[in-house]
């Protein structure tokens, strides 16, 4: 199963080390492949360095793609994380 959604970054400082770490921890035990696409760059969302290289700022829009057996659960967790600013606000 593959899912795709557009998400807007709400964190006031964008996606820096702390929220990137939260994303990687959230995805650590998942079986699905997860990618983030911003502008023309697509990265593996299980890599903290790749997430940081996107240099996401507040209000940037990304496309999240999740493909795999646990895709619905993974997508739900990611959407909740982005909505809650990964606990920062």
- Element housing 5 (H / E): strand 2-8
Distance of CA 57 to the CA centre of its chain: 13
Residues near 12 by beta carbon (within 8 Å), at least 6 away in sequence: 58, 85, 88, 89
CA-based nearest residue to 51, from 89, 74, 75, 18: 18
- Is residue 38 among the annotated active site residues? no
- Catalytic residue, candidates 16, 28, 38, 57: 16
Residues carrying an active site annotation: 16
């Amino acid at each position: 199963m593959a899912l795709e959604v557009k998400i807007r970054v709400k964190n006031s400082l964008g996606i820096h080390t702390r929220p990137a770490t939260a994303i990687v921890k959230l995805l650590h035990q998942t079986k699905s492949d997860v990618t983030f696409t911003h502008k023309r760059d697509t990265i593996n969302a299980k890599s903290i360095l790749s997430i940081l290289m996107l240099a996401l700022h507040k209000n940037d829009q990304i496309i999240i793609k999740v493909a795999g057996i646990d895709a619905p659960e993974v997508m739900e967790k990611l959407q909740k994380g982005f909505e809650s600013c990964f606990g920062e606000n």
